[in-house]
């Protein structure tokens, strides 16, 4: 099978096509023929060893000190079940599925445990649409529903509301019943409103942290704020959730976690993946609460261009690879 392989950290040029053995599904696993896969900020950071805020060494120790341990990146995927291993009952060959694998989706085939973050593809969706969902929407779901526990009527500020996570955060916060304000560039304000934000702020024209408005949750998806700055616009029991954080954020998060400070709090969270999560996304799509957001689709062989676009940090939704012709 063809896979996009890298064996050293660096820019998009370190990724190149390579023929690799097709994996075989083991006990409790399914083999998926990948039709489309996402390129996410996580893929970029792993490929480039671009771990934020002093986390370079912990990142290298986890994923490979001198060179990457896992040579095929890609977490978001959608495709068709090609074969199943012994004991599999949830899926059968021919089923269309989508999910999140952390690694291995930038290849023609991948294996997934049937109990993992994989679900039936919502009816009528293309592989490209389904592959645009998992990373961004799972992050938003975990941070807002599970970590923040957003309740109906609460005021939620999403910073980076037009991006790969922020666009889903706006939709999920609205589904949870929140009043949503989205921060984005001027040219993206109408887009953010179309996702459900009741109010939008152009960060180039206004510093939202100078407002008198108090928010129950500030979800920063792009690393624009620190806790000290976010406190200005947080309600007394408000919560700051940074998607990107470094070592400097740890002391304040520890104080908040131990309940030693007064006023607004900060929580740090690293998003994961689960069967329940992707099944929830599928249900939200079918119920009309969530729509996939695609910025651009690249042919598989143009993966380097896709990486360069992701690293530009200015996109509306997901960047997707089309593997249909691979």
Domain residue limits, the chain: 2-132+292-322, 136-266
Contact 98, 130 (CB under 8 A): yes
Q: Which of 112, 84, 85 is nearest to 100 (CA)?
A: 112
pLDDT tens string 275-321: 999 999 999 999 999 999 999 999 999 999 999 999 987 788 999 99
List strand residue ranges (DSSP E) for 163-214, in order: 179-184, 199-202
Q: What is the pTM of this model?
A: 0.92
88: three-class secondary structure by DSSP? coil
Question: According to the model, what pLDDT value does residue 253 have?
Answer: 65
Pairing relationship of beta strands 118-120 and 96-100 according to DSSP bridges: antiparallel
DSSP for 129-147, please give it. Answer: HHHTSHHHHHHHHIIIIII
pLDDT tens string 90-100: 999 999 999 99
Q: What is the CA radius of gyration of the chain?
A: 20
DSSP letter at 102 equals S
Question: 326 falls in which pLDDT band (50, 70, 90)?
Answer: confident
Q: How far apart are CA 263 and CA 261, in angstroms?
A: 7
pLDDT tens string 244-282: 876 666 666 666 665 556 779 999 888 888 999 999 999
Pair of tokens at residue 279? 């099944």
Pair of tokens at residue 122? 């919502």
DSSP letter at 258 equals T
pLDDT tens string 33-82: 999 999 999 999 999 999 877 778 888 988 999 999 999 999 999 999 99
Per CATH, the number for 136-266 is 3.40.50.720
Mean pLDDT rounded to a whole number for the chain: 93
pLDDT tens string 101-142: 999 999 999 999 999 999 999 888 999 999 999 999 999 999
In the CATH hierarchy, which fold is given to the domain comprising 2-132+292-322? Answer: Quinone Oxidoreductase; Chain A, domain 1 (3.90.180)
pLDDT of 323 > 80? The answer is: yes
Contact 73, 46 (CB under 8 A): yes
Question: According to the model, what pLDDT value does residue 29 have?
Answer: 98
State which H helix or E strand residue 81 sits in: strand 76-84
Question: According to the model, what pLDDT value does residue 280 have?
Answer: 97
What angle, rounded to 10 degrees, do the helices at 41-48 and 303-311 form? Answer: 100
pLDDT tens string 145-184: 999 999 999 999 999 999 999 999 999 999 999 999 999 9
pLDDT tens string 192-217: 999 999 999 999 999 999 998 899 99
Contact 241, 220 (CB under 8 A): yes
């Amino acid at each position: 099978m063809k896979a996009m392989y890298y064996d050293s950290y660096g820019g998009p040029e370190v990724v190149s096509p390579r023929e690799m053995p097709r994996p075989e599904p083991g006990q409790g696993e399914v083999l998926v023929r990948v039709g489309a896969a996402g390129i996410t900020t996580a893929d970029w950071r792993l490929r480039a060893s671009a771990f934020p805020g002093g986390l370079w060494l912990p990142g290298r120790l986890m994923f490979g000190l001198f060179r990457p341990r896992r040579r095929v990146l890609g977490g978001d995927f959608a495709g068709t079940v090609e074969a199943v291993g012994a004991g599999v009952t949830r899926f059968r060959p021919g089923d269309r599925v989508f999910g999140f694998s952390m690694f291995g989706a930038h290849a023609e085939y991948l294996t997934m445990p049937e109990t993992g973050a994989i679900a039936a593809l919502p009816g009528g969706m293309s592989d490209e649409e389904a592959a645009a969902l998992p990373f961004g929407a799972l992050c938003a779901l975990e941070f807002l529903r599970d970590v923040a526990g957003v309740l109906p009527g609460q005021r939620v500020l999403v910073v980076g509301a037009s991006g790969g996570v922020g666009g889903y955060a706006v939709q999920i916060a609205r589904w949870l019943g929140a009043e949503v304000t989205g921060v984005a560039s001027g040219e993206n304000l109408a887009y953010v409103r179309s996702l459900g934000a009741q109010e939008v702020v152009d960060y180039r024209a206004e510093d939202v942290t100078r407002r008198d408005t108090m928010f129950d949750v500030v979800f920063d998806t792009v690393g624009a704020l620190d806790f000290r700055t976010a406190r200005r616009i947080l309600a007394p029991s408000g919560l700051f959730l940074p998607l990107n954080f470094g070592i400097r954020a740890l002391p304040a998060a520890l104080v908040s976690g131990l309940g030693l400070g007064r006023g607004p709090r900060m929580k740090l969270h690293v998003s994961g993946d689960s069967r329940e999560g992707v099944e929830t996304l599928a249900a939200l799509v079918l119920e009309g609460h969530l729509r996939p957001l695609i910025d651009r689709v690249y042919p598989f062989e143009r993966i380097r261009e896709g990486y360069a676009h992701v690293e530009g940090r200015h996109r509306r939704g997901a960047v997707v690879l089309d593997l249909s012709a691979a």
